[in-house]
Structure 1
Amino acid sequence: MHRDPAPAPVRSGIGLRQPHLAALLDSRPALAFVEVHSENYFADGGAALAALHAARAAYPVSLHGVGLSLGAAAGLDTWHLERLAQLVERIEPVRVSDHASFARAPRHHGAAPVHAGDLLPIAFTDASLHILAANVQRVQDRLRRPILVEHLSAYLHWADDRIAEPQFFDLLARRSGCQLLLDVNNLVVNALNAVHAAQVDGGARGTGAEAAAVAQACAWIDAIDPRHVGEIHLAGYTDTGDIVIDDHGSRVHAPVWQVYRHAIGRLGPRPTLVEWDTDLPALPVLLDEAALAESVLAAAALQPEPA
């Protein structure tokens, strides 16, 4: 008897924001998962948590945090980690992630650390790697699962950086057993800012600069061990003329799609999220971006897995 081939698995998802919830649950589009910011659901009850449970009944949920401060020498905030652990137990997310950044710093005279409220870049040094790996391990021990760690869009660098960024994350994954959340938009933003700063192609803001940035971002991906990448993020950015800002407020730009296609060709299909956090569009626009990612994933699924 002839059997139709099984449909390819959907691997793309969207960042879920409250204005889209009702339309999403009403239409139930084909999505692999939705992702929310963990800290928005730390309360023990209320409308936000009820909405998250409704979303979880319809889709797998990925929890993406911005406040663990995994790179902080001051250590983790125990309250924050406990709230995250309780949320993980309630939601049973498909993945849990946060950033390779620090936001907590010690006050003077032994007072409690202060939280900066921002994702500040860490140095790529042996000492920083030791701190990050220890904090990641503490989170994983408490959650009883591996987490994913995202690299940053960074607008400054430390003078004592000595480890190349892809190597740094490979070492982190080997030491802690975590995975990497590969943010293609972050790579392109960093590369564009580096190209502009170096005045490549005469400093022009045209295709020459974009091509150089794409090549730099692809080289970053080529340097990472594919086994360590557990999820990919896509988003939009804004070029102000002086600096490129990772604002998640527009459609994914052409250079990011170029690098994403390279990433999937190099790594094989990976769960992919489209982030959109500012100037939210109507839900169909966001779903259209996810469909574009799905088309890249579907094309890659027809190719042999990378060695």
Structure 2
Amino acid sequence: MKALTKLPADAGICLKPEHFDDIPSKVDGHLWFEVHAENYLMQGGPRLEKLQDIAQRFPLSIHGVGASLGGPKPVNSEHLKRLASLVNSVPSAAFSEHIAWSGTDSNYMANLMPTPITSESLVRTASNIEQLQDAIQRPILIENPANYLTFKTDMSESEFMMSLVSKTGCGILLDVNNLFISANNTGIDPVKYIRDLDRTVIGEIHVAGHSVDPIEKDLLIDSHDSEVASGVWALLNDALSHIGSCPVLIERDANLPSFEVLLAERNIARNLILQNNKVAGYE
């Protein structure tokens, strides 16, 4: 199998079709993009052709949201075939998926449901990760969830993630926004969580905006509909001080601003990467 990621240790942007024609010809550093796999599982067409062209000019990460790796059943075989077709048709530097479940049998939900952090679930989730890795013939990165409730567990979530890495050879996509939300909603220690992870298996970091639940005012929602919050930037800086140089992605899925606004946020992340590099003596 290939290396965990070939993304540059720079900041990237979650790319939407609305911005396909807004990408400047020159930017600072090594800009890269990430797209949601499920938006490109068609056979041909102008959207896929445009993505293929962009992937020839910029490093690309493919991020899945529908494999249901933490679900009660094996990954849907037809979904695996379509993911493999996408990976084979679009040059990509990394592939990632959520540790969550989103359906069972023929029933699918438009949400990423929580995966039980249990020994039984660990075995099943590891098997599903191996299914996906075998289908696309590369190791994947698995993303930590945003948690809204506290459940009974057999181990900590960070232990669960590291056990999956050990069993399958996958890597970790550390979503700092998800971790910030989980810390607020369930009281976990985000700094300890980060330091419980082996920094050598973290292949990518996500940051995004979140919102306050309109009813439960103490609850944060992983909405991806606003700018990155100051607390998330601070936690990203702490994560980079532990992990070292790492690709960082700006996620935005709703209330989409102009590409220039996203590029400005990307440059904040880029500066944090560079600052931590200097502190560590890389520059």
TM-score, with structure 2 as normaliser: 0.91
Q: 2:158 aligns with which of 166, 178, 191?
A: 166
How far apart, in 2, do the equivalents of 1:27 and 1:56 lie? 14
Deviation (angstroms), 1:158: 3.3
Deviation (angstroms), 1:276: 0.6
How far apart, in 2, do the equivalents of 1:101 and 1:184 lie? 17
Q: 2:236 aligns with which of 260, 267, 281?
A: 260
How far apart, in 1, do the equivalents of 2:26 and 2:63 lie? 22
Q: Where does residue 218 of structure 1 map in the other structure? A: 191
Q: Where does residue 45 of structure 1 map in the other structure? A: 44
Aligned residues with identical type, % of pairs: 34
Q: Where does residue 3 of structure 1 map in the other structure? A: none
Deviation (angstroms), 1:194: 2.6
Q: 1:123·1:157 contact (CA, 8 Å) conserved in 2?
A: no
How far apart, in 2, do the equivalents of 1:179 and 1:137 lie? 12
How far apart, in 1, do the equivalents of 2:266 and 2:19 lie? 14
Distance 1:117 1:151, change over 3 A: same
Q: Where does residue 27 of structure 2 map in the other structure? A: 29
Mean Cα deviation higher: 165-174 or 235-244: 235-244
Q: 1:118 aligns with which of 89, 111, 114?
A: 111
Q: 2:31·2:59 contact (CA, 8 Å) conserved in 1?
A: yes
Q: Where does residue 78 of structure 1 map in the other structure? A: 77
How far apart, in 2, do the equivalents of 1:78 and 1:146 lie? 18
Q: Where does residue 127 of structure 1 map in the other structure? A: 120
Q: Quick one: which amino acid aligns to residue 49 of structure 2?
A: A
Q: Where does residue 245 of structure 2 map in the other structure? A: 269
- Structure 2: gaps spanning 5 or more residues: 1-7
Equivalences for residues 1-307 of structure 1 within 5 A: 11-24=10-23, 26-30=24-28, 31-106=30-105, 113-159=106-152, 161-195=153-187, 216-240=189-213, 241-304=217-280
How far apart, in 1, do the equivalents of 2:9 and 2:261 lie? 18
Q: Quick one: which amino acid aligns to residue 250 of structure 1?
A: S
Q: Where do 4+ consecutive residues of structure 1 move more than 6 Å? A: none
Deviation (angstroms), 1:54: 2.2
How far apart, in 2, do the equivalents of 1:236 and 1:257 lie? 10
Describe the SS at the equivalent of 2:147: coil
How far apart, in 1, do the equivalents of 2:136 and 2:25 lie? 33
Deviation (angstroms), 1:267: 0.7
How far apart, in 2, do the equivalents of 1:187 and 1:126 lie? 22
Deviation (angstroms), 1:162: 1.4
Q: Quick one: which amino acid aligns to residue 38 of structure 2?
A: E
Q: Who wins on radius of gyration, i.e. which is larger?
A: 1
Deviation (angstroms), 1:284: 1.0
Instruction: Kindly report the root-mean-square deviation, in angstroms, between the aligned alpha carbons of the 2 structures.
Output: 1.7
Describe the SS at the equivalent of 2:96: strand
- Structure 1: gaps spanning 5 or more residues: 1-8, 107-112, 196-212
